[in-house]
Amino acid sequence: MNKIKLVNNCSKILLSYKNKHTKFFLYFYYMVVNNIKNYQNFKIFITVFLLWFSIQFGKPIEDSIAFVLIISIGIIHGANDLLILSLKKMKNNRFVINLFIYLCIVSFCVIFYILNPFLAILLFIFISSYHFGEEHLSEKMITNRYFESFYYIVYGLLIFSMLFYEALFEVNTIMLELTKTIFSEFFVKYTFIFSLISFLLMNTFLLWKEKIDAKVFLKEGFSLGLLFLVFKTSSLILSFAIYFIFWHSIPSIINQILFISGDISKSSILFYVKKAFLFWLISIVALFVLYQFIPEVTLLSTIVFVILFSVTAPHIWVMYKMKN
């Protein structure tokens, strides 16, 4: 009954507005509400919407929206790692050990970046590839541990190489600030070819062994085609934000909330955000302090990627413990 009332009320509101832009954004809001429990459909919808948005508006607006998404949802999705560790059924001394390991991983990433920025970025891409693949594919098939790990890495490398291939100039602008070196077109091109062929071969093997359904294979092909179109059309930062937020961070947040609270509800979402707020605030303050006091850095995107790099490795470790 409540759903029928919601639909009727939304329809009346939409019809009451004559301005086409107002109608469009009200319809967009209604789609968010209506699809919150069917996130896969919403993910496709928002991706297509932002693809349209990137065609209509210029790079400054695209990048502004992308930074807001990354700084808010993107950082929040890794801000409850310590809460997740504390909720594991373990003794207090075990939590202290895990906290020590977590801080050691963060410290290692920072020190490694200081000693060799280029290799540190390659490490970030490699472990992020695994993390993207694990979050996106782990529930779609079960084989053996080694095959799955390589499958996840190949998927993530395909995402990164598609993105880098379509925005190599922007990528190298950031790389120059981060590492004083760049990615060659040859390196990016052949990483893309290798990951694409490997992904197709591995999916063919899974189909042959009946480990995945043909519908899953076709959906993944459609999704990759859509993402490639987004990467080709949008700026680097918006392209990254679309994948990172809507294809990775929000599904991860949903899994984390289910682990922490057992259900998805208004109270469980608010609890998650409340617990994440302090870590998120510290990250934001650190981001803007670094941006203001490091004169060599002129791009906000550079600092954003440094922050993401420092928390990605420990976050992956926590997600591994949560899922196991």
Write down the pTM of the prediction: 0.81
Distance of alpha carbon 252 from alpha carbon 11, whole angstroms: 32
For residue 162 the two structure tokens come to: 């598609």
Distance of alpha carbon 51 from alpha carbon 45, whole angstroms: 10
Domain ranges in the chain are: 58-323
pLDDT tens column, 4-58? 344 444 444 444 445 554 554 444 445 444 444 578 888 999 999 999 988 888 7
Specify the 3-state DSSP secondary structure of 240.
helix
Cβ–Cβ < 8 Å for 79, 284: no
pLDDT tens column, 183-211? 999 999 999 999 999 999 999 998 888 88
Distance of alpha carbon 45 from alpha carbon 34, whole angstroms: 12
pLDDT tens column, 129-158? 999 998 888 777 677 788 888 999 999 999
pLDDT over 60 at 102, yes or no: yes
C-beta pairs of 218-225 under 8 Å, 24+ apart in sequence: 223/44, 224/158, 224/162
Specify the pLDDT at position 122: 92
DSSP secondary structure letter of residue 211: S
Distance of alpha carbon 96 from alpha carbon 33, whole angstroms: 40
Crossing angle of the two packed helices 185-208 and 145-166, in degrees rounded to 10: 140
